[in-house]
Amino acid sequence: MLQAGVKAPDFVLQDKDGNAVRLSDFVGKKVVLYFYPKDNTPGCIRQACAFAQSYDAFRSRDIVVIGISKDSVASHLKFAQKYDLPFILLADPELQAIKAYDVWQEKKLYGKVSMGVVRSTYIIDEQGMIEKGMPKVKPDTNAQEILEYLDRKE
């Protein structure tokens, strides 16, 4: 997990519509960058829907929400349409941002060890610096925890 106070690694990835999106496009705005394992899996659906339900609260604070997984652009498009997701989803099949943000890690499931995305969230400030890293977040409470953190800061 990258530490607070360091420059957030820039990246260029495609969104669900195939448009190139750079993190540096959002300098001047706070960004919530969340990494998740896979589209259309139970935890990832719950997490995405929680962000969608809280989206107006993020927008009212002028905060950009970006979800990243290693799924394809086509997978993201279907996922966003199926669950009416209003925020940016970025495809990272080459693991460019996933590795840069140190969320590609060894995972254990039923005694089997494999590499995968550890569900993690970063809050990036208006200058492009990491304000807070949140490792191993829970899908159901992640969006609300971020809003509570931001409320405490104000």
d(CA 143, CA 49): 10
What is the rounded CA–CA span in Å between residue 145 and residue 23? Answer: 22
Q: How far apart are CA 151 and CA 153, in angstroms?
A: 5
Catalytic residue among 21, 32, 44, 130: 44
49 catalytic residue (yes or no): no
pLDDT digits (tens, 9 = 90+) for 96-110: 999 999 999 998 878
Return the domain boundaries, the chain.
Answer: 12-140
For the beta sheet containing 20-22, the strands, ordered from the edge strand earlier in sequence to the opposite edge, are 20-22, 12-15, 88-91, 63-69, 30-35, 120-124, 130-134
**For residues 93 and 14, is the Cβ–Cβ distance under 8 A?**
no
pLDDT per position as a tens digit, 36-92 = 999 999 999 999 999 999 999 999 999 999 999 999 999 999 999 999 999 999 999
CATH topology of domain 12-140: Glutaredoxin (3.40.30)
pTM of the model: 0.96
The answer to whether the beta carbons of residues 132 and 144 sit under 8 Å apart is no
